[in-house]
């Protein structure tokens, strides 16, 4: 005689199957939560600080440029205001130092980034951009210093737009030379 299942046995079997499915779903969800926790840890410890560091790089670069323009404008005035010159000089030096420190901070975050974390390709692009931007800041800083030294020496006429444009036109070549030296 074949095994006859009662309604109670069928309901009990269905309850067991549902319980097993619930346990399997709970295990899967725990695994996903663990994986998501790891991803969120990378975002919180590396992505957000790197984004903030890059935003500060942008801010400090703009503030440094503003300090340069203010300093240059004050030196070009018929009667340079010593307070404005002093403040602009101090701001220029401050933001130059902050830029240097922020480049170091960004590089430190990039070097500490987990190797197998998602977004490694984007991270490589950011590192490449930093490698291209940092030498440009040094070249621009040298060029600005040259212009400011000429202004302080009173050589307003010897500095010209053509000379500035020649220096800017040489910038891509100087950058490629600087990147070859740093990579070689």
Instruction: Count the domains in the chain.
Output: 1
Domain for residue 74, yes or no?
Answer: yes
Question: In terms of Cα–Cα distance, which of 98, 94, 91, 100 is closest to 69?
Answer: 91
pLDDT class of 92 with cuts at 50, 70, 90: very high
Domain for residue 111, yes or no?
Answer: yes
Domain for residue 79, yes or no?
Answer: yes
pLDDT of residue 46: 87
pLDDT class of 1 with cuts at 50, 70, 90: very low
Give tens-digit pLDDT for 4-47: 778 888 899 999 999 999 999 999 999 999 888 888 888 888 88
Domain for residue 106, yes or no?
Answer: yes
Asked whether the predicted pLDDT for residue 178 surpasses 60, the reply is no
Domain for residue 7, yes or no?
Answer: no
Domain for residue 107, yes or no?
Answer: yes
Full domain range(s) for residue 111: 47-183
Give tens-digit pLDDT for 106-153: 999 999 888 887 777 788 899 999 999 888 888 888 888 888 888 878
Domain for residue 5, yes or no?
Answer: no
pLDDT class of 103 with cuts at 50, 70, 90: very high
3-state SS record for the chain: CCCCCCHHHHHHHHHHHHHHHHHHHHHHHHHHHHHHHHHHHHHHHHHHHHHHHHHHHHHHHHHHHHHHHHHHHHHHCCCCCHHHHHHHHHHHHHHHHHHHHHHHHHHHHHHHCCCCCCCHHHHHHHHHHHHHHHHHHHHHHHHHHHHHHHHHCCCCCCCCHHHHHHHHHCHHHHHHHHHHHHHC
% of the chain residues with pLDDT over 70: 82
Domain for residue 143, yes or no?
Answer: yes
Average pLDDT over residues 83-100: 93
């Amino acid at each position: 005689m074949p095994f006859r299942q009662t309604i109670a046995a069928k309901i009990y079997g269905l309850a067991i199957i549902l319980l097993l499915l619930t346990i399997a779903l709970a295990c899967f969800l725990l695994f996903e939560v663990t994986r998501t926790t790891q991803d969120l840890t990378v975002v919180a410890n590396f992505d957000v600080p790197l984004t903030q560091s890059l935003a500060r790089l942008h801010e400090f670069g703009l503030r440094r440029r503003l300090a340069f323009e203010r300093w240059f404008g004050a030196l070009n005035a018929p009667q340079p205001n010593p307070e404005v010159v002093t403040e602009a000089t101090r701001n220029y030096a401050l933001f130059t130092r902050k830029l240097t420190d922020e480049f170091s901070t960004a590089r430190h975050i990039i070097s500490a980034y987990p190797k197998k974390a998602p977004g490694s390709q984007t991270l490589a692009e950011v590192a490449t951009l930093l490698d291209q931007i940092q030498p440009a800041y040094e070249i621009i800083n040298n060029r600005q210093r040259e212009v400011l030294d000429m202004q302080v020496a009173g050589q307003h006429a010897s500095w010209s737009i053509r000379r500035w444009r020649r220096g800017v036109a040489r910038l891509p070549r100087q950058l490629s030379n600087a990147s070859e030296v740093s990579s070689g």
